Chains A and B, each alone.
Chain A
């Protein structure tokens, strides 16, 4: 029980400080889990990051579940996930409850008018930096996908499944070629 509480408390602390999404928490986890607690080593952590990125869901939760499981099995995974979720659940719930009452305030409204284009910029920025590292054909695919979802109203789920299917088909064709 003490083990589980320690796992919960460690991830709770990480959860409180993970501003700005999953990747921001990586240095925090490294410090707490590898250096101070020594729950997993550097190599396992690198593998964990690769796995966490290729499975669905927020990287923060994926990482917590993996480390919690390694430490104390399924119960440990549960404690770690709960620790990561509770801080953001409580903070957002408080904001949601009080936001409606202050939303019409002229200062709050003006602040949000300023923040909206900034939010768009924070999303466009990563697209530009991602595009620098990928092949031209993939940039064209990305553009078509963007238009398909935004303009033609395709469901992102089906486009994602189609992408995975094409990737699998290419792998299957390549491995058959390798055999012949």
Chain B
């Protein structure tokens, strides 16, 4: 039952999706590339690239795109709904009771414990994109890839707009490979 699988996978991604888009990447990757095998690592990188250039959170974008790839339009609607359900429920309860939760020592403790893990999850996402299991999916295919990587990293540290960085890299890609 592909619809149910999509729903459960994205429910899980939504429920454990702490720390924003990049930390969620390794969660999504683990679920849809490694454990379910719905898409390849290369396709995943392409989706991340598309997400950078289109509006909306990466979790939503990936749910919509992968849902469509796996099971058509209904698949994309089901996956997108599933990824939103946990945060809708949690946020609604927090909005109702937030004065009681705010500043709670244990909640802060749990968050402090998760912080280094979230940085580690972003690291894992980067490593998986750099060195995927199958060589067909490699993000780095030649020396030009490393040049693009180095320049983009510098631009990113200099706080150049990410959309501009992606667009420039696409133009460079056409100039080199087409």
Residues of chain A whose beta carbon lies under 8 Å from any beta carbon of chain B: 15-23, 47, 50-62, 65-66, 69-70, 74, 77-78, 81, 84-85, 87-89, 91-93, 95-97, 99, 106-107, 109-131, 134, 138-139, 141-151, 153, 155-157, 159-160, 162-168, 170-172, 175
Contacts and interface: CB of A to CB of B under 8 A. Distances in A.
Provide the main secondary structure of the chain A interface. Answer: helix
Nearest to B151: A121
B4 interface: no
B40 interface: no
Contact of A93 (B64, B130, B149): B64
A17 to B, nearest CB: 6
Given A56-B18, A81-B88, A87-B55, A121 B113 contact: no
A168 B68 CA distance: 39
Contacts of A143: 120, 123
Contact of B56 (A15, A47, A97, A129): A15
Interface centre among A55, A141, A168, by most chain B C-beta atoms within 10 angstroms, is A55
Closest 10 CB pairs of A and B: A114-B173, A167-B113, A57-B87, A88-B56, A145-B120, A171-B109, A146-B123, A58-B57, A125-B156, A118-B169
Given A111-B171, A141-B117, 7 more contacts: A23-B20, A77-B88, A84-B56, A118-B49, A120-B130, A142-B123, A175-B105
A23 B123 CA distance: 19
Nearest to B155: A121
Give chain B's interface residue range (CB within 8 Å of chain A). 35 or more
Contacts of A54: 18, 107, 111
Contacts of B12: 157
19 contacts: A18-B55, A55-B94, A56-B15, A56-B16, A56-B18, A58-B58, A85-B60, A92-B51, A96-B65, A111-B170, A112-B46, A121-B152, A142-B123, A150-B124, A150-B127, A156-B30, A162-B117, A165-B113, A172-B106
A56 B24 CA distance: 10
Nearest to B128: A150
Given A16-B55, A56-B15, A88-B55, A61 B87 contact: yes
A92 B107 CA distance: 35
Contacts of A162: 117
Interface string B127-152: 11111000000011100011011101
B87 A62 contact: yes
Interface in B86-100: 86-88, 90-92, 94-96, 98
